[in-house]
Every structure is written in structure tokens, then in C-alpha cells.
Amino acid sequence: MEHFIPYPARQGFRKRWSQRAAFLLFRLFSLVVAATLVIILGFIVWKGAGAISWEFLTEAPSNGMTSGGIFPALVGTLLLMLGSALVAFPLGIMSGIYMNEYATRGWLVRFIRIMTNNLAGIPSIVFGLFGMALFVQYLGFGDSILAGSLTLGLLSLPLVIRTTEEALKDIPDAYREGSLALGASKLQTIRKVILPMGMPRIVTGLILSLGRVSGETAPILFTCAAYFFPQLPSSIFDPCMALPYHLYVISTSGTDLEAQQPLAYGTALVLVAIILLVNLLANALRRYFQHKVKMK
Amino acid sequence: MKKLLEKLVASIFTVSGLLTSIVILLIVGFLFSEGAGLFRNRIIDPGYVLAVNKSNPVRELSPEQIKAIFDSDLVDWAEVGGDSGPIVPFRLEDADRYFSEAQLGPNYEHAGRLIAELIERTPGIVAFVPGQMLPPDAEIAFIEDRTISFSEIFAGKEWFPTATPSPLFGIVPLVTGTLWVSFFAILFAFPFGIGVSVYLSEIASERTRQLLRPVIELLNGIPSVVYGFFGLVVIVPLLQRVFGLPVGESGLAGSIVLAIMALPTIIAVAEDAMHNCPRAMREASLALGATQWQTIYRVVIPYSISGIASGVVLGIGRAVGETMAVLMVTGNAAVIPTSILEPLRTIPATIAAELGEAPAGGAHYESLFLLGIVLFFITLAINLGVEAISSKSRS
């Protein structure tokens, strides 16, 4: 019977089915990837929700970390986020402004961009080594919030620079030229026109970079993180506990892994909650600003 | 005045623009200044000597041979180029076995002389003792001490940084472990990465896209230590049960976790590249009677192939440098991997696990910085590779 089917139609049949099969496969892959996220998040929420209580969030670990809460680690992580922001935000934004507003095209800009990309690609553990050698040993800060913040700040620098650059790149040159034509200086143009216009997207990027900092473990292993430091740090030269390191410690070592398990789930949940919060906030801001720009 | 301010601000911006380059230079400088010190270290622990009997012709031993001798894996001098005869390794702790407490005297007063005599009368002995302890007039010979060589590190197949008398700093097992686990991670991530980016860029409706994008972003945002934890409590026991392994911590567990972590990078870059394929090209293909699928694999994918390659290479970079997740699920056995189901150990995991215990300035500490340098150059090569790929596609 086969030879009765005209050739083009048979080809069409094959074409249609290969397309269907391919698309089905891709849809399936996407479904698997989405399911992976749902499984990971769902698992952590399901297992961790039981551990979360007011005491868990406000008490220090006790009994050799087999009971109690995560308060010092939570505070430590927030301090490190703040500290790294103080380092990375001003420097990164300035660097981004330079790349987009001052640097003329040429080998220097290309070089700087390659260097920024390279810095972004350097593994976080190398930052940890570097922070230990420079801040902890050479400058003598010791294991401290200061050393940890500086290390994390440098780590998030490329992200901040790229965010700023991309935000400023999308601002039409007409605005710059308009401002300059009105007699404003370059600095005035940047301050009064460019930055306010780029701010929404810059802020969104900064929030996302804070999220990244909150989960980083490797850079603070040797620059800041304390295994157990239940009192709150009193100065920037104190070490501190941090959520990601705490999770690593209680899930891999300790006196009683069995008893630590629920605490580990709880800590993981808090970490994930911070990331979720940061992402939701960034998305909400993005949408809000998009809306606002459209209104204008 | 105003002009001056403008100039000042401009120069401040310029300096901050150069900041990333400065940081990279500093990183290279500090890693090298700490890591290069490893080559100044001697193969035998500082302050100690390896003494042998005068009649023994062997004067040179490699660190690997020394370790094997003291682990009793090497038992005959013929195996290291000497006259056939049993090797008798001797450590200071063994003194109690050979001599009574009375003989050694208070504070080991006579230990040096006794050990020297022991070496003089035992032809097969190799004694690992502090150099100052032995009397200068003793009739004994020494194994030559020298600095650690380049090839012992970069071609060394054993990583035992805390072994005595001779620590071994062979990085081959760590490098192969890193590449092995990253290779499998990309193998797993590649089909999914390409599939999802094609789906996102070409097939999905705007609504699905709006749903899927945040999913990818979140996958990227989850901290590596959370991935490690998830791997430890879910994937590791699962693999142990499915494959009937003695321990679930294995290269495979690491590869799976790394694949999940590398996915967002691959998807983001590859999707971006496909998205940039000009509309006219797609429409031309469709107008010629090609189906959407034919258009995708004959037009869109070839057009964006360099972007896809960049994404995959960046994904490899992410996998190679990942620390915490790998540290938690791969079991950290420093052996050259032969199967993906065995525990293995990567460079970043080694640094993270050992730096805390290595005394600052010691050989072990320096060796970890050397690993940092190796890692730095691997990722640098990857980044420059991406740069080359994308600049090629631009021109």
C-alpha cells in the first residue's frame, strides 16, 4: 500500500512527527528542570518547616549545636551582606559608570571588560584563599567580619559592575546630549539624569547580588566564619557565624548528626527563604519600575 | 573650581574602572607569593634526616619511595636500586621498641647515641630522626635531601600533604577528579540545557516563558551549600540504594548536583544567543516550507552555535570551580578516579577541607595556594576561551 501515498505527503508526515517528537522532548526537559526546583524547594520546606519557630530564629545554638537556634548565624549573615554591600556597591557602581560614560571605545575598555568577566569567573574558593592571604594574614585583620565583608565585596563586584553597565547602556544618548546641550557638565548629567534613570535597574541588580552574597560559603571559610561564636560580634574585628557555613557544619560534622538533622533542615529553609525573598523583591521591583516607566 | 571637581571625579571613576584589573593582579600576586614557596620546601620534614647504614649504596629516594617505605609497602632495598635486603624503617617512636627506658635515659638523653649505634649495626635500616639528635661523629650515611621538584607536584599521582617523613603533593588525582566530575556534570546538563533554551526561546508561549524564567533564576540563586545539603540527604542515599554502593558519596552524586547548578548558566547564555537570531532568517526558512523544527535545527541552532558553546563552556567553568556542594557529596578520596561511582576529590574541595588545618606558611598551606593557582588558570583559560568564541561570532 505504501507506494500509493504521494511522496510529499509522506515527507510531510515525517516532518510533522519529528517536530512533534522534538518539541515533546524539549517540553519534557523543561518540565524536568522545573520539577527539580520544585522538588528541592518542596523538600526543604517540607522537612524544615517543623524546625522553624520563634525560638529557632532568636536563640543561639546550644548543647554542642544539637539544639537551640540560629540567631548568631542569622545576624552574622545579615552583617556580612551589609558589609559586602558597603564595599561592592559604591565601587561597582562607579566602575560601571566609568565603563559606560567615561571610557571611550578602545583597547582599554575591552581590556577592562575582559578583566571584569574574568573576575566574575574566578571560583569563590580562590577568593577565599586570596582574602585569607591579603586581609587575614598580610593586613592582619584576622578572622573578622571586616575581612569577610571585603572578600565577599570583591566577589560581588563584577555582578554590580555588569548590572550598572547594562542599566546605563539602555538609556538613550538623546538624554545625555539634551542635558549637555542645556549647559550641564558631565558630572551633573550623570548625577541628575543618568543615575536617576538607571537607578531602578541598578537597585534590582544590587538586591540580587545581596542574595548571592548571603549564600556564599567558600569565601568566608577562612576569612570570617566561626564554627561556634554564640555571642553577637561586638566589633568588625570579631569573627561571626554565618548561615551557609553553619548549615555546612551541622550537616557534615558534629557530635550527634541525628539530632542536628532537623536544625540543618531549618537552617537550609531560612537560607532558601532569604533567596526567595530577594528574588521576589527584585522581580516585584522590576515589574513596578516597568509599570512606572510605561506610565510616563 | 568646578572644572577641578569634574577632573577629580573623572579620575576617581577611572581608577574604579581599573579596579577589577587591580583585584585580579592582586589575586595572582598573593596566590603566587604564597604558592610558589612550595618549591622551596625540602622533601624531608624540616629538621629531620633520613639516616642509613654506611654499607647501603642508596643515597637518593623520591618522596613517593620514602612514603612507601614507611608505610611498609616497599620492603626490599633492591626495589629502590640498592643491594637486595629487607628495609627496616625506623621512626623516633620506635625507639621504645629497641631500647629500654633505662637505656634511653631521662629525656631521651642517650637516644641519639643509641640510634646511631643501631644504624651502624643494622644494614637495612632507614631512620627518620631529628638531625641534631645524632652525634656528629657517628659512622652513618644520609639520604640526600633536596627541594620538591616541579614534576613531583604536577605529575605526582599521590596527594598526602600531611604524610611524614615525606609529604606528597602530587596534584594529578585532584586535577583528574575535578575534570572527571565536571565532564559528567556537563554530560548530564548539556541535553537539558539545550532543550530548555530551545523551548524557552522558540517554542514556549509568552505565559510559560514568564513562569519558567523565574524558575531558572531561582535555580541559579540557591546557595551551593543548600545544593550540597540536598545532595547529601537525598541524592547520596538514593544512589547508594540504586547502585548498591558501599558509600553513596561518589563522583556521580557530585556530577548530578553540579549538573543542576551548571544548568542556569548554560540556559541563560544559550537562550540569549538563540533569541538574537534575526527574525528575517527564521521567516525566510519558514517561507521556504521548512517546519518550525527544521528552522530550529537548520537555522537557529547553527546561527547561535557560538553562543551555545559559550554557555556550555561557562557551565564547565562553574562546575570546575564549585566548592561546597562538591565537598559535601563526593566523598573526598584523593585517588585518581577510575569509575564515576567511586568517591573522588576536586581541587576546590581540597582547598576548602584542608586549609583550616594547614598551619600558615607551612608546605601544606603553600601547596593549597598552588592548587588555587592551578584552579585560577583553569578558569582563566575557560573565560578567555569564551571571550574568543564570542568575539569570533561578533566578527
Shortest CA gap A168–chain B (Å)? 15
pLDDT tens digits, A78-98: 999 999 999 999 999 999 998
Shortest CA gap A4–chain B (Å)? 23
Please check the confidence at residue A292 and state whether its pLDDT lies above 80: no
At residue B264, the pLDDT reads: 94
Shortest CA gap A52–chain B (Å)? 17
Nearest to A262 by CA among A72, A83, A61, A124: A61
User: How many Å is the Cα radius of gyration of chain A?
Assistant: 25
* Architecture of the domain delimited by B172-394: Orthogonal Bundle (1.10)
At residue B120, the pLDDT reads: 87
pLDDT tens digits, A18-28: 888 889 999 99
Q: Residue A61 carries which DSSP code?
A: E
**Residue A25 exposed, middle or buried by CB count within 10 Å (0-12, 13-18, 19+):** middle
Query: Which percentage of chain A shows pLDDT scores above 90?
Result: 45
Higher pLDDT, B268 or B335: B268
The answer to whether A284 faces chain B, any CB pair under 8 Å, is no
Chain A nearest-CA residue for B209: A30
Q: How far apart are CA B254 and CA B328, in angstroms?
A: 8
**Could you tell me if B58 and B48 are in contact, meaning their C-beta atoms sit under 8 angstroms apart?**
no
The answer to whether A283 faces chain B, any CB pair under 8 Å, is yes
Using H for helix, E for strand and C for coil, what is the string for chain B? CHHHHHHHHHHHHHHHHCHHHHHHHHHHHHHHHHHHHHHHCECCCCCEEEEEECCCCCCCCCHHHHHHHHCCCCCEHHHHCCCCCECEEEEHHHHHHHCCHHHHCHHHCCHHHHHHHHHHHCCCEEEEEEHHHCCCCCCEEECCCCECCHHHHHCCCCEECCCCCCCEECCHHHHHHHHHHHHHHHHHHHHHHHHHHHHHHHHCCHHHHHHHHHHHHHHHHCCHHHHHHHHHHHHHHHHHHHHCCCCCCCHHHHHHHHHHHHHHHHHHHHHHHHHCCCHHHHHHHHHCCCCHHHHHHHHHHHHCHHHHHHHHHHHHHHHHHCCHHHHHHCECCCCCCCCCCCCECCHHHHHHHHCCCCCCCCHHHHHHHHHHHHHHHHHHHHHHHHHHHHHHHHC
Looking at beta carbons, which residues of chain B come within 8 Å of A211?
221
Q: Which of A140-149, B35-44, B385-394 has the highest mean pLDDT?
A: A140-149
Q: Do A29 and B195 touch (CB under 8 A)?
A: yes
Q: How far apart are CA A239 and CA A232, in angstroms?
A: 9
At residue B337, the pLDDT reads: 84
Q: Do B221 and A126 touch (CB under 8 A)?
A: no
Reduced to 3 states, what is the DSSP secondary structure of residue A240?
strand
Nearest 5°: CA angle at A129, between A125 and A134?
Answer: 140
Residue A20 burial (CB count, 10 A):
12
Q: Do A112 and B293 touch (CB under 8 A)?
A: no
Chain B nearest-CA residue for A14: B291
Q: What is the pTM of this model?
A: 0.89
A interface mutation test: which of B5, B11, B28, B226 has the most A CBs within 10 A? B226
pLDDT tens digits, B368-394: 999 999 999 999 999 888 888 887 766
Residues 45-74 of A with CB under 8 A from B: none
**Could you tell me if B216 and B315 are in contact, meaning their C-beta atoms sit under 8 angstroms apart?**
no
Higher pLDDT, A116 or A227: A116
> Does B48-147 match B172-394 in CATH topology?
no
At residue A283, the pLDDT reads: 86
Fold of B48-147: D-Maltodextrin-Binding Protein; domain 2 (3.40.190)
Shortest CA gap B205–chain A (Å)? 12
- Mean pLDDT over B189-213 rounds to 92
Q: Could you say which of B225, B291, B323 has the minimum Cβ distance to residue A125?
A: B323
Fold of A54-295: MetI-like fold (1.10.3720)
- Mean pLDDT over A250-254 rounds to 84
Q: Do B324 and A218 touch (CB under 8 A)?
A: yes
Looking at beta carbons, which residues of chain B come within 8 Å of A248?
225, 228-229, 324, 328
pLDDT tens digits, B124-143: 888 888 888 888 888 888 88
Please check the confidence at residue B85 and state whether its pLDDT lies above 60: yes
At residue B329, the pLDDT reads: 93
DSSP A186-237: HHHHIIIIIHHHHHHHHHHHHHHHHHHHHH--GGGTTTTB-S---SPP-STT
At residue A1, the pLDDT reads: 40
Q: Rounded mean pLDDT of chain A?
A: 87
Chain B nearest-CA residue for A151: B23
Please check the confidence at residue A295 and state whether its pLDDT lies above 60: no
C-alpha cell at A164: 550598572
Map out the domains of chain B as residue ranges: 48-147, 172-394
Q: Could you say which of A95, A221, A272 has the minimum Cβ distance to residue B19?
A: A95
Residues 148-167 of A with CB under 8 A from B: 154, 157-158, 161
Q: Rounded mean pLDDT of chain B?
A: 89
Chain B nearest-CA residue for A36: B260
Element (H, E) at A168: helix A145-169
Please check the confidence at residue B395 and state whether its pLDDT lies above 60: no
Residue A41 burial (CB count, 10 A):
20
Query: Which percentage of chain B shows pLDDT scores above 90?
Result: 40
Chain B nearest-CA residue for A214: B223
Looking at beta carbons, which residues of chain A come within 8 Å of B216?
33
Region of residue B147 (left: phi > 0; alpha: psi -120 to 50; beta: else): beta
Shortest CA gap B122–chain A (Å)? 46
pLDDT tens digits, A37-80: 999 999 999 999 988 888 888 888 887 777 888 899 999 999 99
Q: Could you say which of A157, A185, A271 has the minimum Cβ distance to residue B223?
A: A271
Looking at beta carbons, which residues of chain A come within 8 Å of B20?
95, 112, 115-116, 118-119, 157-158, 161
At residue A13, the pLDDT reads: 73
At residue A8, the pLDDT reads: 52
Shortest CA gap A120–chain B (Å)? 9
Please check the confidence at residue A2 and state whether its pLDDT lies above 50: no
Q: How far apart are CA A249 and CA A251, in angstroms?
A: 6
Q: How far apart are CA A83 and CA A88, in angstroms?
A: 9
Q: Which of A223-237, A253-267, B108-122, B322-336 has the highest mean pLDDT?
A: B322-336
Q: Could you say which of B12, B215, B386 has the minimum Cβ distance to residue A34?
A: B215
**Residue A258 exposed, middle or buried by CB count within 10 Å (0-12, 13-18, 19+):** exposed
Q: How far apart are CA B27 and CA A150, in angstroms?
A: 13
Q: How far apart are CA A272 and CA A267, in angstroms?
A: 9
Shortest CA gap B67–chain A (Å)? 29
Q: Do A102 and B13 touch (CB under 8 A)?
A: yes
Shortest CA gap A64–chain B (Å)? 20
Map out the domains of chain A as residue ranges: 2-51, 54-295
At residue A11, the pLDDT reads: 63
Reduced to 3 states, what is the DSSP secondary structure of residue A103?
coil
Q: Could you say which of B221, B224, B352 has the minimum Cβ distance to residue A221?
A: B352
Q: Do A154 and B203 touch (CB under 8 A)?
A: no
Q: Do B30 and A130 touch (CB under 8 A)?
A: yes
At residue B392, the pLDDT reads: 73
pLDDT tens digits, B289-306: 888 888 998 999 999 998
